Amino acid sequence: NEGSLWGGRFADGPAAAMAALSKSTHFDWVLAPYDVRASQAHARVLHRAGLLGDDDLTTMLDGLQRLADDVASGHFVPAESDEDVHGALERGLIDRVGPEVGGRLRAGRSRNDQVATLFRMWLRDAVRRVATGLLDVVDALVAQAAAHPEAVMPGKTHLQAAQPVLLAHQLLAHAHPLLRDVERLRDFDRRAAVSPYGSGALAGSSLGLDPDAIAADLGFDAAADNSIDATASRDFAAEAAFVLAMAGVDLSRLAEEVIVWSTPEFGYITLADAWSTGSSIMPQKKNPDVAELTRGKAGRLIGNLTGLLATLKAQPLAYNRDLQEDKEPVFDSVAQLEMLTPALAGMVATLEFHTDRLAELAPAGFSLATDIAEWLVRQGVAFRVAHEVAGACVRVAEERGVGLDGLVDAELTAIHPALTPAVREVLTVTGSVASRDARGGTAPVRVAEQLARVRDTSRRF
Ligand code: ARG
């Protein structure tokens, strides 16, 4: 069984369907650069433990470096007979340095501690790339918010007219969850920075190898405390899959608003040509496909998380081959987000906002009713009463077919004596927005501060 990592106790090689089922090189090959780096660290530890002579170490490191170069250039690729990335690379090493030296590398390690380590290394790098992509979307939101410091728009709850808000406030409301996702990714990294290398198959190594040295060599903060846990646990992968799914869900909420805003019925925005698509039959169409694919892929990311959790559920400790199913969903979540974020950032950065229409719609649906009630409260009226009075204003205005600012003085005082003409100071959208000036509110002065903080946070990452 040429190129296999086992076989001594087998008289026969695997059946073809067995080998096909077992095989993972088509997806785990992305771990190859990490595998070679870890092998270099392992070789040094073997040498330090007296299990590899000086010359053999030199030969081994040289062979591994040539192998790394050949992997990077695409000169060395897995063969049909290679079960996984680990087997393929051992074959590649033996091709380069011969079986005598090449056959020494595997001492004191198992694919179980190897794969758990390499997956962590890959994921720690991948998550950094995803975080950068999310921050690019944040930057695009920040740039749009900064370009529209005063623009107002209808704020909605239940997708119904609620209260006017600043466009910048609404845009930044999408930046905050993304910043928290980036923070979650960083937090994930703290727990992922523990190295399983040296755990062997499950029980640890008997060869006097130093797991701490390898951990440090590979950029981990520490070596694992429990070799069973280190080879059996994949909560690090599930945690990453969750944050990636959460980011997908957060992006989908932004996407959904873009989709709705770009309809002629809303007419809030126009998408740039470069970030939209046409229809093969309807010549007038301009579709928000970036946003729709974002919405769609969020479902896929959730599926990757739930699939992985289902794979992990009730697996006995330590390693089971079920665990080979851990990588594809996570690889996929990373790949999808790496495709999504540049497109989303480009789409957001090039959105054209129709600020006149947004301003015109901002007071629609009696969205200043709360301002009347709160103005009355400031005049000493109880909120229960104020709420009733503002409701009566809406009723009268609706009957007469005018907005709240169309009520005449006589109508106001007839509704309630406290409703003097001075209430008109809050019956404008700009007055309403400016009055919400506590921290976190939509007043321009607060939103400007918020913008500065968001910008600051995204630069600090
Ligand atoms: N390719 C496997 C994985 O991804 C590692 C191999 C471990 N195989 C084994 N029989 N212990 O998990």
User: Could you tell me the CATH number of the domain that includes residue 167?
Assistant: 1.20.200.10
Question: Same domain for 253 and 345?
Answer: yes
List 279, 333, 354, 367, catalytic entry: 279
**Is residue 460, in this structure, part of any structural domain at all?**
no
**Is residue 377, in this structure, part of any structural domain at all?**
yes
**Is residue 435, in this structure, part of any structural domain at all?**
no
Question: Same domain for 102 and 170?
Answer: no
**Is residue 26, in this structure, part of any structural domain at all?**
yes
Question: Same domain for 190 and 171?
Answer: yes
**Is residue 406, in this structure, part of any structural domain at all?**
yes
Q: Which of 337, 357, 377 is the last residue of a domain?
A: 357
Concatenating the DSSP letter of every residue in 412-423 gives: HHHH-TT--GGG
Question: Same domain for 205 and 81?
Answer: no
Question: Same domain for 244 and 390?
Answer: no
Domain count, the chain: 3
Question: Same domain for 273 and 413?
Answer: no
Q: What is the pLDDT of residue 134?
A: 98
Residue 18 tokens read as 């067995």
Burial 444-455 (b: 16+ CB within 10 A, else e): bebbeebbeebb
User: For residue 270, is pLDDT > 70?
Assistant: yes
Q: What is the pLDDT of residue 9?
A: 84
User: Whose structure tokens read 């790496």?
Assistant: 338
User: For residue 2, is pLDDT > 90?
Assistant: no
E strands, 142-226, in order? 152-157, 160-166, 194-195, 222-223
Q: How far is the CA of 237 from the centre of ligand 1 (A)?
A: 16
Please confirm, yes or no, whether 158 is among the known catalytic residues. yes
**Is residue 4, in this structure, part of any structural domain at all?**
no
Question: Same domain for 44 and 96?
Answer: yes
* Number of the ligand 1 atom closest to the C-alpha atom of 119: 4
Of the candidates 69, 83, 80, 6, the residue with the CA atom closest to the CA atom of residue 36: 69
**Is residue 205, in this structure, part of any structural domain at all?**
yes
Choosing from 122, 321, 323, 326 the residue with most ligand 1 atoms within 8 A of its CB, the one to mutate for a pocket test is 321
Give the Cα separation of 444 and 151 in Å (integer): 9
Confidence of residue 3 (pLDDT cuts 50, 70, 90): low
Question: Same domain for 154 and 254?
Answer: yes
Q: CB of 7 within 8 A of CB of 13?
A: yes
Q: How far is the CA of 111 from the centre of ligand 1 (A)?
A: 6
Nearest alpha carbon, ligand 1 atom 5: 111
User: Whose structure tokens read 């994921």?
Assistant: 123
| Residue 104 DSSP code | T
For the beta carbon of residue 216, count every other beta carbon within 10 angstroms.
15
Question: Same domain for 219 and 278?
Answer: yes
Single pTM value for the model: 0.94
Q: Which of 331, 357, 383 is the last residue of a domain?
A: 357
Please confirm, yes or no, whether 279 is among the known catalytic residues. yes
**Is residue 390, in this structure, part of any structural domain at all?**
yes
Q: How far is the CA of 114 from the centre of ligand 1 (A)?
A: 9
Question: Same domain for 262 and 411?
Answer: no
Of the candidates 317, 111, 124, the residue with the CA atom closest to the CA atom of residue 196: 111
Question: Same domain for 169 and 277?
Answer: yes
Q: What is the pLDDT of residue 281?
A: 80
**Residue 408 belongs to what domain range?**
369-427
Q: How far is the CA of 61 from the centre of ligand 1 (A)?
A: 25
List 26, 73, 158, 280, catalytic entry: 158
The pLDDT tens digits for 179-204 are 999 999 999 999 999 999 999 999 99
The pLDDT tens digits for 223-246 are 999 999 999 999 999 999 999 999
Question: Same domain for 103 and 116?
Answer: no
> Mean per-residue pLDDT for 87-108?
95
Q: Which of 304, 332, 357 is the last residue of a domain?
A: 357
Q: What is the pLDDT of residue 8?
A: 81
User: For residue 282, is pLDDT > 90?
Assistant: no
Nearest alpha carbon, ligand 1 atom 2: 324
The pLDDT tens digits for 301-353 are 999 999 999 999 999 999 999 999 999 999 999 999 999 999 999 999 999 99
